[in-house]
């Protein structure tokens, strides 16, 4: 795809190619970042149960919280990789940048845990 600002790349809009790049990045994150992989594994069964029993609000809340958490994890991983690429040694400014990215991820994880715990408890009570 052509970059309008740098005037580089091939002209034309290719949505299928963009989608394939997105899937490739997600696959890479799941395969190489354990924190992304295990959170997907924990979320999928709850999503399946909510979908199966047609609990749409529950499904959407778990889906949104999982999406928020995955986005935060992937951005955190990207920020850390860029920081390590720019400065391989110890740098106080890089440490602050990484800490801020980790804090944002931590907030997203707390929201995800709250939603997963609430939905798991509700589903457990429904089955009992």
The pTM of this model reads 0.78
43-69: pLDDT as tens digits: 898 888 888 888 888 889 999 999 999
Please tell me the distance from the alpha carbon of residue 89 to that of residue 29, in angstroms, as a whole number: 24
Q: How far apart are CA 67 and CA 72, in angstroms?
A: 9
pLDDT at residue 103 in the model: 95
Residue 89 DSSP class: S
Q: Tens digits of per-residue pLDDT, 69-127? A: 999 999 999 999 999 999 888 899 999 999 999 999 999 999 999 999 998 888 888 87
- Class of the CATH-defined domain 34-127: mainly alpha
pLDDT above 70 for 9: no
């Amino acid at each position: 795809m052509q970059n309008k600002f740098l005037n580089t790349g091939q002209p034309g809009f290719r949505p299928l190619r963009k989608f394939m790049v997105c899937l490739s990045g997600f696959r890479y994150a799941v395969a190489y970042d354990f924190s992304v992989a295990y959170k997907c594994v924990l979320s999928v069964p709850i999503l399946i149960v909510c979908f199966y029993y047609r609990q749409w609000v529950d499904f959407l809340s778990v889906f949104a919280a999982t999406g928020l958490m995955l986005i935060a994890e992937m951005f955190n991983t990207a920020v850390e990789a860029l920081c390590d690429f720019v400065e391989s040694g110890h740098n106080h400014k890089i440490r602050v940048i990484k800490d801020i990215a980790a804090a944002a991820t931590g907030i997203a994880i707390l929201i995800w845990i709250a939603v997963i715990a609430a939905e798991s408890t509700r589903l457990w009570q429904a089955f009992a």
